[in-house]
Amino acid sequence: MDYILGVDGGNTKTDYFLFNTNGEFIDFYRGGTCSHEGLPDHFEGSYRVMKSILHPFLEKHNLTPQDIKASVFGLAGVDTPSQKARLEEVMSRLGFTNFRVVNDSFLGIKAGAPNGIGVCSINGTGTSSSGIDDEGHTLQVGGIGAIVGDEAGGHYIARQVIRAVFDEAYRFGVKTSLTPIVFNYLGVDDKCYLMEKISEVLTTRRLDLTKLTIACFEEASKNDEGALQILKKMADNLARSAGGVVANMKFSNPVNIIMAGSVWVKGSCPVMREEFQRLMEFYTQKKCHFIVLNTPPATGAIIWALELVMGKLPPQHLRDQITSAVLREQDCIQAS
């Protein structure tokens, strides 16, 4: 029996999945981050962490990395060619042979696109956009910060909520119902103390992304102009990046646009999604097929590894089988 490995490595957790080439689940392990950006010893830390997990994980099944037929590592922090090369060296040192190292944003394409081709717009805590085109070429736009337009995600929303309140108080901003919410959140009853409290929150890193993100969506649903402006601006930022992927690659119509990450999946107000979809077709001048990714991105790593073995995208029944197994295992972890 031949085996494949799929790894989804984020900035907080990493999921390791072992399947066989019949698409049957073998084992699963969830560990902490293996990202070179989140470890004190950087790329050497990625090697150290993955070796400490993968070697015993495989030894349980009398396997070594050399025994794995194909593996795909979707990792946070694979944003540039040099980072990709360094992490490929890590996988080779670990003993893997037939493998792919990609940014974790690419996994959404293999997990969500019916033909394994398209663009993935990540809108979670942070943001990035990636694409796999009709010729198999890959491209990533963003992922390294605001300097390249990464102005979306929960972190962006939370900061913009506070900014909107400060703008109303001191910078001729629109009146917004976010103001009493932020005042209460900061423990402020007079705007004279607003800047001091904002400074305190930022320096102590006590910014509650979830609470302020939810507030923005709730107030936008009530047609608050300040909240709507935040969501529409973010939709434009996301469409420019994802649209840039489309414009610089070769896609047939319609283009699959996978919308992944907690803000896309859980956002309660449709304004942001509708604006993003409108702007994507406006910027690219292409018909787009939008798919909200409700399956774990780790699914994409396993499907891609099986594709490396088969030489083509696995049939739908195998992809469904893989997706069901991943959902089952991740549900067990979350319930424990």
The domain that holds 310 is classified in CATH as: 3.30.420.40
Indicate whether 336 pLDDT > 70.
no
Same domain, 9 and 138: no
Same domain, 202 and 231: yes
Same domain, 9 and 62: yes
Same domain, 201 and 147: yes
SS3 330: helix
pLDDT of 116-157, one tens digit each?
999 999 999 889 999 999 999 999 999 999 999 999 999 999
Same domain, 271 and 306: no
Classify residue 175: in a domain, yes or no: yes
Same domain, 225 and 300: no
- Domain range spanning residue 85? 3-97+295-335
Same domain, 119 and 17: no
Classify residue 104: in a domain, yes or no: no
- Number of domains into which the chain is organized: 2
Classify residue 86: in a domain, yes or no: yes
Same domain, 140 and 283: yes
pLDDT of 238-289, one tens digit each?
999 999 999 999 999 999 999 999 999 998 899 999 999 999 999 999 999 9
Same domain, 254 and 211: yes
Which stretch of DSSP H or E encloses residue 127? strand 127-132
Average pLDDT estimate for 150-177: 96
Buried b (16+ CB within 10 A) or exposed e, 133-150: beeeeebbbbbeeeeebb
Classify residue 74: in a domain, yes or no: yes
- Across the chain, what does the average pLDDT equal? 95
pTM of the prediction? Answer: 0.93
Classify residue 105: in a domain, yes or no: no
Q: % helix / strand / coil in the chain, to the nearest 5?
A: 50, 20, 30
SS3 175: coil
Same domain, 129 and 269: yes
How many angstroms separate the CA atoms of 156 and 241, rounded? 15
Same domain, 205 and 243: yes
Same domain, 212 and 239: yes
